[in-house]
Structure formats: structure tokens, C-alpha cells
Amino acid sequence: MNSLRRLSAILMKEFMQLRRDRMTFAMVVMIPLVQLVLFGYAINTNVRGIPVAVVDQSGSAVSRILQQTVAATQVVDFVQRLDSVEEAQAAIKGARVRAALIIPRDLASRLARSASVGLATPPATNSETSRPLAQWIVDGSDTMIASAIKSLRSMPMNELLRQSANRSTPTFEVALFFNPEQRTVVNIVPGLVAVILTMTMIMFTSAAIVRETERGNMEMLINTPVKPIELMVGKIIPYIFIGLIQTAIIIGLGALVFNVPFNGSMGALVSGTLLFIAASLSLGLLFSTLAENQLQAMQMTVFVLMPSILLSGFMFPYEGMPVPAQYVAELLPATHFMRIVRGVCLRDADLLDLQYDSLWLFGFFVLGMALAALRFKKRLG
């Protein structure tokens, strides 16, 4: 009986402590809600609305019908019209589009020959006349995007273009750039840099500041001439080197063990990584001003980490998500760095090609540091 009373007292104490710890209680409720929304609503492996460009060298009514037929599948969305194949390749390299449809000048003649093949043209001429109507050039670094475009390879055109239903040659030729073998590891390894840095940079930084408070060291630092911004900068600089070491390990072992290509410049990779590390560290500092203890700091990190994994394009294509989920993804630093690290490593892009994502990370760092400094100063006061 006495044991039951003591157990009841301990239980009451724990429930009262949980009720006072609003941050933990909020995480207990919010984490399953967020995960339910992410997996049930935002995550979609059926990729639709892939942003693509078109290079219409034919400029005919038939080419317009061809584009309308492809767009009607809703797999792709024509967002740019370009004048040359070189411009299309540059757009893919800079991640402005994921693929480009190249419509040749002789589209009408190809269509006529294709129809004649279906109408019992002599076999000797079949190999000569049976040619794809157009070509897709695709960013093959994302295997889901590549598979979605390849699904259009043999799409039927017989209703709109009066094409023979017995056509054996694919409607489109598909050329996969940067990962022609469609190896998943080629896409995963560079993206893993963003995931690992998101977890370690935010968690280490937020926990480091909170640990100083828990140990009573913050009071001593307050009485020194050190300014709040100097304290925060001094705290985060060591983690910059840790982040660079982690990046070198992932990229290096990815190349040695999994034969993942590195096509870009080391300077662009280091610059992009420093921008992301700075953005993540500023978010970690902001969390440290909100958390009361290290447990809360870790909970906040998990709250950001899971959406970063699921919405940044690491596991599921960004284009496959609903528009509201894409808006949330655009707020996450990992989304922008995912594009940078994959662009640099796989497509030989530089920060000028990816200037939107680079400027976004820099702006996030400035805003995060300003908010963290204000919160930290207020907390010291």
C-alpha cells in the first residue's frame, strides 16, 4: 500500500512537470501531427508538373499539337521556350528546368514517314523512315524525375497526329544527362551532405549555448567584456570546420566507395557549403535562445530535421509535392542547399547558375543571426 502511494506521488510529480514544460508538451503533440501531414498529404511519389523547357525548331502547327498532347499528360509543365539546345542544356545545368523537349525541324516529314511505315511501306525502308518524332534531354541525377520522363517515351500519338497504332519505334528519344545508368546512390550521396549538416549544425550549436546556461557558465560570461554577438560568433566558428570535415568525408567516401562522380569545382562546393553551414548555425543559435535545456534543443532540431528530409527533395522529388508543401519546403535551408550540392557535384554548376538558392541562404543567415542576437540580448537582460 505504501509502495502504491509512493508510485502515485512520483506519477503526479511527472505529470505536473510535463504540464509546466510547455515546449516538451508542444513537441509531443506537434511531431505526430506534422509527420501525419507530411506523409499523408505532402509526400507523393507520382511525379507531376515537372518544369521543363521546349526548343521548337519546327515552329509548325504539328509541333504545337505535339506539345499540347505532352502537356495533357500532366507529367510535365512547359515553363520556358528556348531557342537552342545549348540554352536548354544551360537551363538544366542551372536547375531552372529538369528536362527539355527538342522538336526537330523535320517533324512533319518524320510524322509522314512514320505514318507510311504503318501503312505497309516495304520492309527495306522501315529502318530509314522509322525515327522518333522528338527528343527529351533530361537531368538524370534524380532517378524519379528521369523515370517519369521516360514514361513518355512511347506515349501514343495516333489520335491527334494520325499516327499508326502499329508504330514500333518510340515516340521520343530520351537522353539522360549526369546519371545515364540511373543509379540511386548518385542522387543520394550529395543530398546526404545537406541532411547530415542540418542535423549536426543545428543540434550542436543550440546545445552548446544551452549547456553553458545549465552549467552556470553564462553568468560568468555576462560579467566579461564579451558582447553577445561576439559570444555567438565565437561559439559557432569551431562548428564551421566540423561541417567542412563532414562534407569532405561524405563526398570523398561517396566517390571512392560508391563511384559517385564529382563534376564541379571544389571552390563552388566549399562556398555553397559555407553558406549552408552559416544558415544552419544561425538557426541553431536562435533555437538556443528559445530552449530551456538541452532536451528542448534536441526536440527543436528533430522538428526541423524531419521536414528537411522529407520536403527538401532528398527522398521525394520537389516537383511531386503539392503547392502548399512546396511553400513550406522553400522556407527550409536544406531545400536550397540540396539544389546547390547536387548542382555542383553532378552538373558542374557554379553559384552564379544557382544564385537564387545562394542568395536565399545568405539572407537566411543574416536574418537568423539578427533574431538570435536580439533574443540573446533580451535573455541576458
Among 53-57, 111-115, 150-154, the least confident range: 111-115
Q: In this structure, which amino acid lies at residue 221?
A: L
Contacts of 298 (CB under 8 A, 6+ apart): 203, 207
**Cα 267 to Cα 273: distance, rounded to the nearest angstrom:** 10
188: Cβ contacts below 8 Å, ≥ 6 apart: 314
What cell does 134 get?
522528338
Q: Using CB atoms within 10 Å of the CB of residue 120, give its burial: 0 to 12 exposed, 13 to 18 middle, 19+ buried.
A: exposed
- pLDDT at 115 (0 to 100): 62
At 134-178, the pLDDT tens digits run 999 999 988 899 999 999 998 877 654 554 445 567 889 999 999
Residue type at position 142: D
pTM above 0.85, yes or no: no
C-alpha cell of residue 117: 511505315
> 318: closest CA among 334, 300, 301?
334
Q: Is residue 13 helix, strand or coil?
A: helix
Q: Which residue in the block uniquely carries the three cell numbers 549538416?
A: 197
Q: Residue 309 and residue 301: Cα distance in Å, rounded?
A: 12
DSSP 282: H
What's the pLDDT band for 16 if we cut at 50, 70, 90? confident
Helix (H, G, I), strand (E, B) or coil at 147: helix
Q: How far apart are CA 172 and CA 161, in angstroms?
A: 14
As a whole number of angstroms, the distance between CA 261 and CA 340 comes to: 15
Residues ≥6 apart with Cβ < 8 Å to 369: 229, 232, 282, 285
Alpha helices, DSSP H only, in 215-265?
Answer: 217-222, 228-257
Burial class (CB in 10 A: 0-12, 13-18, 19+), 295: middle
Mean pLDDT of the chain: 84
| pLDDT over threshold 70, residue 351 | yes
Rounded Cα distance, 362 and 333, in Å: 10
pLDDT tens track for 238-286: 899 999 999 999 999 999 999 999 999 999 999 999 999 999 999 998 9
Query: Structural domain boundaries of the chain?
Result: 50-177, 184-380
**The C-alpha cell that represents 307 in the structure block:** 521536414
Which ranges of the chain does DSSP label H, i.e. alpha helix?
2-20, 22-37, 61-72, 85-93, 107-118, 126-129, 143-150, 158-161, 184-214, 217-222, 228-257, 266-290, 294-311, 323-330, 333-347, 355-380
The verdict on domain 50-177 having CATH code 3.30.390 is: no
Per the model's pLDDT, the better-predicted residue between 24 and 379 turns out to be: 24
What is the tens place of the pLDDT at every residue in 212-223?
A: 777 766 666 666
Categorize the per-residue pLDDT at 125 as very low, low, confident or very high, splitting at 50, 70 and 90.
Answer: very low
Question: How many other C-beta atoms can be found within 10 angstroms of the C-beta atom of residue 309?
Answer: 19
Q: 102 and 135 in contact (C-beta within 8 Å)? A: yes
In this structure, what C-alpha cell is assigned to residue 58?
519546327
